Structure 1
Amino acid sequence: MNEHLKDIFVATGCPSQQQLLDYVQGKLTPEEQHEVEMHLADCELCSEALDGLSAFNDKEKLPALVREMKWDLLKKLHKKYRKSRRPENFNIYIAVIVLAIIFLVLALFWGYHFYTQPK
């Protein structure tokens, strides 16, 4: 994996999520707004994020929607990670273990049955 892309969520020169939300909602000072606009001219990722945020009609609900989308994404990633940790032949391993337990129980039962019978 490209080392530069690996740290996509670390602190960068990009505006914070809150700054982008405030920009869309028109809550920034003129200086802050200018600073964000200067960054948007050079950063394609932030520009696309701003386009996505601007597409929402009800700007006051944006923080809650963004928080909900983050949690949904984290849940999906966690679920995908859990699935990917399972070995490919997981079901075969379970079947072999169950069969071994059944054979062990039968062998113990059979041995006990022959051992306790009168001679």
Structure 2
Amino acid sequence: MMRSVNAPQHLVQSVIVIGRPLGGLQFRRISVWQPLQETIRKSDKDTRQYQAIRLDNDMVVLLVSDPQAVKSLSALVVPVGSLEDPEAHQGLAHYLEHMCLMGSKKISAGG
């Protein structure tokens, strides 16, 4: 069974930047992301908390909070493919796939 839940609203929604103009310290809130009010559908047995946010650069991020998790994870979904390659740059999506999944000396390749 699936149920709809509203994302938790307790996440930080801005950062405070401290400046030092001539008149002394001033505090100013700068929004770095906005919570999305879209309902996230999940299983009744899923106890994790979800929050979708939109960054100032328009990237949409899904935050998942699981207090029982012992490790963290990040994933990237790029909604493009070979059909979106510019005419002058065929193979760009395939190249991006390999660059995103390529390992390093300290981090193994995807999988």
TM-score, normalised relative to structure 1: 0.21
Structure of greater Rg: 1
Higher strand share: 2
Higher helix share: 1
